[in-house]
Homo-oligomer: A and B are copies of this chain.
């Protein structure tokens, strides 16, 4: 029996039929210890899912307020976890629900994605769908630093959970110079790629702050560049590697001319621009992208929503 099948069977017996782990062990001819491990793994891998058929009144209210305040098409507010380590997971849960519904009801032809922990968690929480006509593509270059939150893994993860087509953007997030960037994107293959990125039906991204908490700050910035320099130039965070000030405008800094991602004016033409992010360190960049209209669907946690609404 395939391992996934084993997980489903054990989990069904436990959650639906209400058997104890010992009873399941006897039924399936394994040890109780194995059953315990299988059940944990089933929850961990998303084979078994816990969901809620109700939303908190507080979230509903905050969502309405966010939509109104920032002119959003939609908003999703998830409860803020007391353990900050859980922020990506709860955001991913909320985003997965939203994306799943959007995909099933609106059938987008193409989805552009960013990368990072929140996106990783979104994949984890999504229900498998069968959408072979959908193209999932990276919206920007990626880290050379390999990890499962890297752009390649994220695109592939989404493509797999959706059974969709996978389109990589095979470039780093930053070129060595503005001239180098211009040389790269002047090539026909990249022209085509940028054109397609700008034409996606849905963009699903996260944002980064300007601190050592940001993976991009840690692994993506060119030599000699630091968060201090970016902050000094007025940066409060980044969207697709473009550092923005509090008003949501790109800071006047050479780095923003080295970035391999769509121009903001092109990005704004995408119909559905989703940003999922949260936590205290993201409040400033979230406010920037919401206030400036860069994002028209915001997925965040309750504390962040309140902070956004309280900001002048």
Which residues of A are interface residues toward B (Cβ below 8 A)?
2, 4-5, 7-9, 11-12, 15-17, 46-57, 79, 81-83, 86, 89-90, 93, 101, 104-105, 127-128
Contact = CB atoms under 8 A, between A and B. Distances in A.
Contacts of A16: 50, 81, 86, 89-90, 93
Copies in the complex: 2
Contacts of A79: 9, 12
A8 B86 contact: no
A18 B181 CA distance: 46
A9 B56 contact: yes
A41 to B, nearest CB: 13
Given A16-B81, A16-B86, A79-B12, A46 B50 contact: no
Contacts of A55: 8
B128 A54 contact: yes
Contacts of A104: 101, 104-105
A56 B86 contact: no
A105 B107 CA distance: 10
A55 B82 CA distance: 34
A182 B16 CA distance: 46
A82 B17 contact: yes
A55 B4 CA distance: 9
Q: Which of A50, A79, A104 has the most CB of B within 10 A?
A: A50
Given A5-B57, A104-B105, A17 B51 contact: no
Given A104-B104, A104-B105, A105-B104, A15 B50 contact: yes
A53 B49 contact: yes
A60 to B, nearest CB: 11
B17 A83 contact: yes
Nearest to A50: B15
Nearest to A23: B82
Contact of A56 (B8, B15, B52): B8
